Amino acid sequence: MKKWIKIVTVISASLLVASSVLTVPTSAATKKNAVLTRIEKKHVMLWGTKADTRLMGLMDIKTGKIQGFDVDMAKALTKIIDPNAKAEFTQVTSGTRIPLLKNGNIDAIIATMSITPERAKVVDFTKPYFLAGQSLLVQKGSKITNIQDVNHKGVTVVGVAGSTSVQTIAKLAPKAEVLALPDYATALSALKAGQGDVLTTDSGVIAGMADEDKSLMMVGGTFTNESYGIAFAKGNPELVKKTNAAIDELHKNGTYAKLIKKWFSKVPGMDWKEMAK
């Protein structure tokens, strides 16, 4: 009798495991491409973008709306992904953007987000939509024109503590002194006050600084590849595919070049024509 009870128990357990295994794909299939399904059903695409980065995404205090290259790109992409959809925006920061995406508060991130292997473990990126890279910002009249000019004793580079930019400078210009400060606002003030000879961060951020203060200019182009990508929650391959196709379409129909010209053609030292290719 005990033998039969044991056999029945084993069979029951086996059926339970089999049932569990069979239900997993069904559940996963329901969630797969859920974001695209919701967009096409509600005709609204929710974008997370920064509101403190000049030229890319900056809050207009008069209108209460975020304006910039990222915003215009998101609107143009939305119309291709779903011609009937409207783009709506939520303000994000570097710290809040991924949690908001994973929690479903936004459908996509377009917020000066560099594509990195570490981030690709938690989100799915599109192809690059903005070819950024580490760059240099100096006061007009500076003798520094490129990264090679930085690698000399007596040169002080201003950056943000803990950033990849500071780490890269230490490798590429080991002879220079690095002044690592808490944030971009403090770093920019230090450059203007003469506490540093050059400021370094990615080109998208530097472009905004140079545009705001005409006494400053970008020099030397970019010397790293930190291209920005659009991020989606894992499990939305069709939305990634459609967005990649939409990025290609904006390049082909001339919209991308028009937006680059609109936002970056007046930035001192920035080769916007090269960016627009």
pLDDT at 234: 96
Spatial distance between the Cα atoms of 182 and 217, rounded to a whole number of angstroms: 22
pLDDT at 1: 44
Distance of CA 122 to the CA centre of its chain: 14
pLDDT at 29: 36
Is the CB of residue 168 less than 8 Å from the CB of residue 224?
Answer: yes
Q: Which H helix or E strand runs over 11?
A: helix 2-31
Is the CB of residue 122 less than 8 Å from the CB of residue 102?
Answer: yes
The token pair at 239 is 């939305």
pLDDT at 209: 93
Q: How would you write the pLDDT of the chain (277 residues) with one tens digit per residue?
A: 433 333 333 333 333 333 333 333 333 334 789 999 999 999 999 999 999 889 999 999 999 999 999 999 999 999 999 999 999 999 998 889 999 999 999 999 999 998 989 999 999 999 999 998 999 999 999 999 999 999 999 999 999 887 778 889 999 999 999 999 988 889 999 999 999 999 999 898 899 999 999 999 999 989 998 899 999 999 999 999 999 999 999 999 999 999 999 999 998 878 888 888 8
